[in-house]
Amino acid sequence: MVDDNTDILYNIAAEVAGGVITSRDFVSLRTWGQREGMYISAGMGVNHPDKPPQKAYVRGKNGVGGWVYKPVEGEPNKCLFLWFMNTDIGGWFPQRLIDVNMAKVLMDFNRDLQAHVRELKSSRSEP
């Protein structure tokens, strides 16, 4: 933790395309907050002495990117979700293969996020 709204994030992305693209790891500096009614998270890849590259993973690099959650006026159960992705997965792959699989990653993330929100709502409504 750097401060109350900033941390260093280490994550491992699972292989995709049946293992054609092997697992990648990423180290990022991430910050978050609220501004003008929107929740914003932004970050970028960094080097960190506690997270050197691992032989088991290709080290990916995140450029500046982030998420914005903006409430939809008059729709309390909806928000606009914007994801600005700027990622170099490392290695050499045809751009078409990367584009197709990144679209799948985004769709899977959206599915998993919606399931998590439903789970949170359900746990709050239980006695």
* 57-116 per-position pLDDT tens digit: 999 999 999 999 999 999 988 899 999 988 888 877 777 877 777 788 888 888 998 899
* Residue 19 lies inside a defined structural domain of this protein: yes
Q: Which amino acid, residue 12?
A: I
* Residue 100 lies inside a defined structural domain of this protein: yes
* Residue 94 lies inside a defined structural domain of this protein: yes
Q: Is the pLDDT of residue 20 over 80?
A: no
Burial string for 109-125 (b: 16+ CB within 10 Å, else e) reads: eeeeeeeeeeeeeeeee
* Residue 119 lies inside a defined structural domain of this protein: yes
Range of the domain at 22: 6-32+40-64+88-125
CATH code for the domain of 47: 3.30.530.20
The token duo for 44 is: 């970028």
Q: Cα–Cα distance between 35 and 71 in angstroms, integer?
A: 12
Residue 109 per-residue DSSP state: H
* Residue 77 lies inside a defined structural domain of this protein: no
Comparing 19 with 46, which gets the higher pLDDT? 46
* Residue 13 lies inside a defined structural domain of this protein: yes
* Residue 11 lies inside a defined structural domain of this protein: yes
What is the length of the chain?
127
Q: Is the pLDDT of residue 127 over 80?
A: no
pTM over 0.85? The answer is no
Q: Cα–Cα distance between 26 and 45 in angstroms, integer?
A: 7
With tokens 């700027």, the residue in question is 86
* Residue 70 lies inside a defined structural domain of this protein: no
Which of 63, 62, 67, 64 lies closest to 25, judged by CA?
62
User: How many domains does the chain fold into?
Assistant: 1
